[in-house]
């Protein structure tokens, strides 16, 4: 199981998978299909446990956690893990791959509200009203651990460290939303794109990946939707950064050339 929450702007797989997969475009399929389920892997042996679990858990604690995670789900690229207004039952921890969360305005226009990668949670939006307020779509073939929320509540009562960790994750979502509001309201276009890339770099580094060279799983259009910018503006900012020697861009492959310069934007 993965229980972690940071800023929402990235996509990541295992290093081997990253080197073998080719870039793909995200299709328009946003309908929810019933994902394939498999027996869950054990949280106690998960490679992400040091990133996403609270420190100091005992063997007994891990036994309880392992018994709670009943299954994993596989979601194909372009398919929905859950859709808006779907009843809230579970939260999900991204195990492999990446997702985008989308809300639909009354006009029918869609807006991306976040990107989630391995070690991050999905579905917290459903706790408040008992139904999901947005749709979550896989940006690539992905997998999640299914965490029944009623069992998580029981676990939190039994393991105080887990309860504190879940509260921390929920608080992180509030901070993320406030940061996004500030970014959309106060930052210039180049500042938004630079912040996006730096946040991505930080999150990849925390997972043991390169912080200076990575592959973007989202499209420029999806990035613009998240950052409150038009596709043309996003592309123009990438070209500007490349001319100034801050980054190198080859399709979706990004390489930092001047990290300090990017931070100074």
Same domain, 39 and 117: yes
Same domain, 178 and 193: no
Same domain, 134 and 259: no
User: How many Å apart are CA 164 and CA 3, to the nearest integer?
Assistant: 12
H or E stretch at 140: none
Same domain, 46 and 128: yes
Same domain, 131 and 217: no
User: How many Å apart are CA 231 and CA 19, to the nearest integer?
Assistant: 27
pLDDT, residue 21, reads 35
Any idea what the CATH number is for the domain that residue 256 is in? 1.10.10.10
Last residue of a domain, one of 183, 213, 241: 183
Last residue of a domain, one of 149, 183, 217: 183
Same domain, 147 and 79: yes
pLDDT, residue 35, reads 47
pLDDT, residue 169, reads 81
Contacts of 142 (CB under 8 A, 6+ apart): 74, 75, 77, 94, 95, 96, 97, 98, 99
What domain range includes position 204?
189-263
- As a 3-state breakdown, the chain gives helix, strand, coil percent values, each rounded to 5, of 40, 25, 35
pLDDT, residue 158, reads 87
**Whether pTM exceeds 0.95:** no
Same domain, 166 and 197: no
Same domain, 78 and 128: yes
H or E stretch at 206: helix 189-206
User: How many Å apart are CA 160 and CA 143, to the nearest integer?
Assistant: 28
Beta bridge partners of 85: none
Q: Hey, what's the torsion of the CAs at 130, 136, 141, 143, to 10 degrees?
A: -30
Mean pLDDT in order along the chain per 10 residues (265 residues): 43 36 36 48 72 78 77 93 96 92 88 90 91 96 92 88 86 81 85 92 84 93 94 96 96 94 94
pLDDT, residue 13, reads 39
Q: Based on the structure, what is the number of domains in the chain?
A: 2
- Structural domain contains residue 5: no
pLDDT, residue 41, reads 65
- Structural domain contains residue 150: yes
pLDDT, residue 212, reads 92
Residue with tokens 């998978």: 17
């Amino acid at each position: 199981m993965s229980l972690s929450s940071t800023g929402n702007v990235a996509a990541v797989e295992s290093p081997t998978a990253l080197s073998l997969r080719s870039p793909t475009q995200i299709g328009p399929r946003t309908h929810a299909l019933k994902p394939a389920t498999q027996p869950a892997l054990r949280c106690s042996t998960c490679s992400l446990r040091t990133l996403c679990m609270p420190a100091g858990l005992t063997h007994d604690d891990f036994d309880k956690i392992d018994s709670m995670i009943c299954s994993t789900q596989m979601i194909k690229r372009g398919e929905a893990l859950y859709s808006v207004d779907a009843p809230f039952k579970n939260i999900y921890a991204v195990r492999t791959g990446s997702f985008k969360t989308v809300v639909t305005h009354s006009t029918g226009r869609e807006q991306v509200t976040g990107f989630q990668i391995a070690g991050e949670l999905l579905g917290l939006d459903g706790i408040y009203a008992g139904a999901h307020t947005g749709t979550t779509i896989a940006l690539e073939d992905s997998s999640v651990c299914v965490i029944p929320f009623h069992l998580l509540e029981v676990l939190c009562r039994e393991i105080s460290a887990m309860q504190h960790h879940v509260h921390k994750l929920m608080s992180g979502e509030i901070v993320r939303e406030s940061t996004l509001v500030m970014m959309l309201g106060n930052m210039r276009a180049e500042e938004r794109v630079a912040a996006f890339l730096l946040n991505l770099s930080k999150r990849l580094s925390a997972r043991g990946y390169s912080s200076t060279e990575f592959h973007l799983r989202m499209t420029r259009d999806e990035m613009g939707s998240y950052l409150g910018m038009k596709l043309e503006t996003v592309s123009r900012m990438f070209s500007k950064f490349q001319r100034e020697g801050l980054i190198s861009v080859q399709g979706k492959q990004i390489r930092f050339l001047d990290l300090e310069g990017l931070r100074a934007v």
